[in-house]
Structure 1
Amino acid sequence: MQERLYGWSAPSALGMRWAVSILVLFPLVSLQVTLAIMTLVWGPPTAVPLLPFEATRLMLLSIAGLAVPWLLRPTMRPVLIPLILVCCVIGAAPVHSPHHAVRALAYVLNTPDLMRTTLLASLAGGLAGMLLIRGIILRATAQLSLAKGSTKWGNAEALKKPTKGLLLGKINNEYLRYDGDGHLITIAATRSGKGVGTVMPNLLSYTGSMIITDPKGENYAVTAAWRRDHLQQNIVALDPFDLTKEGGAQMATLNPVDFIDINGKDYVETAMMLAEMIIGRGHRTEDSHWKLEAKGLLFSFILHVASDETLANDRHLIKVRQLLTQGSDDMGKTLCAMKDSHLLQVREGAHRIEQKSDRERSGVFSTAQSHTHFLSSPRMQYVLASTNCNLEKLRKGKMTVYIVLPREYLSTFAPWLRLVISSCYYWCTHSAAKKPTVTQ
């Protein structure tokens, strides 16, 4: 097997080259072991050996000696132990060609007085060949194949060493933890204990920052006080439906538009990300045009709200929704203001809108409006209007963010969930991210 840091590689199929090697090696090894045993009993055959006795012994014993240090690796033992034994036996006699070996074996089998010893020697040779081939098969089928991924079997011993990290389980009162980089996933049936068996134990023990999607608010109710009082975490609950209110939580608010730094280099990419999170990706090809155009429209309006001086007190997505749904007269004024913007992207957006036919323009606006319906909710307007939490502590300090959204609203308010998670991710991965204004 190929050993890895946290386990063993998954078995791979035995290929054709291994099968051919086995078919060739088995009879050769068996024959040479049999001939070596007969040589030790009766002496060498009269034929000229393929390799002299001294050369054979030196070569095979050298191979066996070089293989001994590799016995320290458990994954090599199935091959090396039979190989060393075979080399020691064959090295005790000169090596003859397979033709001469077969002739010698046929001669002694036809001699009644020698048949019993010959059969025992043949049996020993066959057994030695089988042991060596078995080790080769075990080694070959355990090699890592990347053709269908690089899955590994877990190794509990490696997981017992870390003293911190994510808690996976316990064996014989010893905790199993993973402290490496990568992704973890827990798969189990509904109500089988994923929360109490994996999620909550980690929330009660992991000392780093965490972001938790908590549809029922149960994780907050059980773990928030412990993480605040014992793990010195800053607790933030983004809970527009007040599921955590009974636990004394203060509702946190997060305005994604605050992350757009017009004076920075990434303001275009940040606005694009927000538009992408709101509209999402379509599954049907026929919807791709309208969704792409709606994202472009939403991107232009978000940048307009984030940059226009007259909207300094309304830099949030609720204002974007209001601009998208205003009447035709007010829309004309908004487009005029966008055409006078100091940002090229905003001016381009206004011109693209004017270039479209009435029918296409109506379709694009309808698509953008349908994907921003959630912004009409008073609860969404409250949690998106301002920012009262400092996400800088996610990266530089200790912060736990609970994102609480009831299951029955997951589909309706999925854009808000995407916005919050992407904002947290953006802050954690951008060292030069704009620090949003926090209002208490």
Structure 2
Amino acid sequence: MAPYIRPENPSASWMNPARLSDDDFVMKDGRIFLGRTKDGRTIGVDDNRHVVTIAGSRAGKSATSLMSNLLTWDGSAMVVDPKGELATNTALHRAKMGQDVFILDPFGEVTGEAEKFRASFNPLDELRAGGPRDVVDDASTLADALITSDGRTNDHWSMSAKNLIRGLCLYALHRRPQDASLVDVRALLTSPAEREKKAPAGAPLALADHFEAMTKEDAFDGVLAGMGSTMAGKPKSERGSIISTAIEQTSFLDSIPMREHLAEQGLTSMRALKRKPTTIYLVLPSSRMGTHFRWLRAVLTQAMTALERTENATRRPVLFVLEEFPTLGHMRLIEASAGLMAGYDVKL
């Protein structure tokens, strides 16, 4: 416990065990479960700060801390669950608590009765849910999650690729307002760069044709036309490098299980977490983390953006459970938002 901080001397100290009998440590609804005493009393804390569990491998962090809290927390929860163990062991119980349960599990890691809660999620649905005023900014946020930078201060190719992906997301939505998905964005991106001179009539449009079509659209207050003009006006070699960067960084969209997951109907908006008691599990095995982590980044980014803008109609903060957090790699979004999340009724 650290009731105060003095820069010159450490101030942390062990709490007197006798205090566990105080009402402050009695487990009640809306409290974080800590464990049980030797005489069987259940201990919980009500604290508006975030919580981290640190222990060695195979120490039982999931079973003793994460699963226990998912079995007791009666508010909404967003659960990053790489191995699918939390979903497999707690999804049915949370459904019986009255929660709407969705397991986003493109590679089928979840087993048993929890399989019936497996659902899909199309990130472009979240752009639709945000409304016309926010759709351009939300497309930028999604593109930022899908295209990662190498950390250089002037990463022209990554920044340009983000702008391209933003434009293609908007273009896909404009062409197919009701059912466009990231699969459509990938199809546009991997179209032939230029139309062949002797292409037969009815041949699929080249990417250059799509850029030209964008210039004639007034959708999204001219943003689409501007994107088309920008790409069409770039030198061929520069345009090719930008397209190549975007293709490389979205290659996970060629995965058949991922394409099936993105193209199906399912969860329509992360705003559900604040509108009614809802639990969403994100399952991505470690064997796919290196190649498909951008999907996880995209979903988490959209969840945080949605929760920031949505008024909480439930009784509790939304609990973000980040299992095996170090395996996710550096996520700037989590780092930048951690100190602000409590104000959005989100608890890590």
1:332 to 205, 208, 211: 208
* Partner deviation per Cα, 1:198-241 (whole Å, 9 max, x = no partner): 10110111111111111111112211122122x22221111111
> In structure 1, what is the equivalent of residue 248 of structure 2?
370
Q: Who is 2:322 aligned against?
A: none
> Quick one: which amino acid aligns to residue 354 of structure 1?
A
Structure 1: distance between partners of 2:228 and 2:309: 30
Q: How far, CA to CA, are the matches of 1:358 and 1:324 in structure 2?
A: 16
State whether residues 8 and 152 of structure 1, in contact with CA within 8 Å, keep that contact through their aligned partners in structure 2. Answer: no
In structure 1, the partner of 2:28 is 163
Query: 1:412 deviation in Å?
Result: 0.7
Which of residues 392, 396, 401 in structure 1 aligns to 2:280? 401
Extract structure 1 runs of 4+ deviating beyond 6 A.
Answer: 151-156
- TM-score normalised by the chain length of structure 1: 0.61
Bigger CA radius of gyration: 1
In 2, Cα distance between equivalents of 1:283 and 1:249: 41
The one-letter amino acid of 2:181's match is H
Structure 1 position 371, deviation (Å): 0.8
Q: Using the TM superposition, give the Cα deviation of residue 161 of structure 1 relative to its aligned residue in structure 2, in angstroms.
A: 5.0
Amino acid paired to 1:9: Y
Match 2:123 to one of 246, 256, 275? 256
Task: Write the distance in 2 (CA, Å) between the matches of 1:320 and 1:242.
Answer: 24
SS in 2 for 1:9: coil
2:165 to 256, 281, 298: 298
Once residues 299 and 392 of structure 1 are traced to their aligned partners in structure 2, the CA distance between those partners, rounded to angstroms, is 21
1:320 aligns to 2:196 (yes or no)? no
Matched, 1:197 2:192: no
Query: Does residue 216 of the first structure (1) align with residue 83 of the second (2)?
Result: yes
1:183 alignment partner AA = H
Aligned-pair CA distance for 1:414: 0.4
What pairs with 1:128-139 in structure 2 (closer than 5 Å)?
none
Higher share of residues assigned helix: 1
Measure the CA separation in 2 of the matches of 1:153 and 1:368: 52
Match of 1:280 among 140, 143, 148: 148
CA distance in 1, matches of 2:139, 2:16: 45
Superposition pairs of residues 13-28 of structure 1, within 5 angstroms:
13=8
Q: Which residue pairs with 1:113 in the alignment?
A: none
Deviations 1:167-220 (A, max 9, x none): 123345443323232321111111111111210110111111111111111112
**Separation (CA, whole Å) in 2 of partners of 1:190 and 1:356:** 51
- 3-state DSSP of counterpart to 2:158: helix
**Partner of 2:340 in structure 1?**
none
Q: Structure 2: which amino acid aligns with 1:204?
A: L
Is the 8 Å Cα contact of residues 271 and 310 (structure 2) preserved in structure 1?
A: no
The Cα of 1:312 is off from its aligned counterpart by 3.7
* Whole-angstrom distance in 1 between the partners of 2:7 and 2:157: 46
SS for the counterpart of 1:412 is: helix
TM-score by length of structure 2 reads 0.76
Q: In structure 1, how many angstroms separate the alpha carbons of the residues matched to 2:277 and 2:184?
A: 33
2:303 pairs with one of 407, 424, 427: 424
Structure 2 CA distance, aligned partners of 1:259 and 1:208?
Answer: 22
Alpha-carbon spacing, 1:8–1:366, altered in 2? closer, same or farther (3 Å) = same
**Residues 240 and 380 in structure 1, CA contact (< 8 A), matched pair in contact too:** yes
Looking at structure 2, the residues matched to 364 and 154 of structure 1 have their Cα atoms a distance apart, in angstroms, of 57
Q: Which string of whole-angstrom CA distances, capped at 9 and with x for unpartnered residues, describes residues 113-166 of structure 1?
A: xxxxxxxxxxxxxxxxxxxxxxxxxxxx75xxxxxxxx8976874751562321
What residue identity is the alignment partner of 1:336?
Answer: E
> Relative CO higher for 1 or 2, CA cutoff 8 Å, sep ≥ 6?
2
Q: CA deviation at 1:347?
A: 1.2
Aligned with residue 183 of structure 1, among 46, 50, 65: 50
2:216 matches 1:349: no
Write the distance in 1 (CA, Å) between the matches of 2:281 and 2:44.
23
Report deviation, 1:359.
1.7
Aligned residues: 290
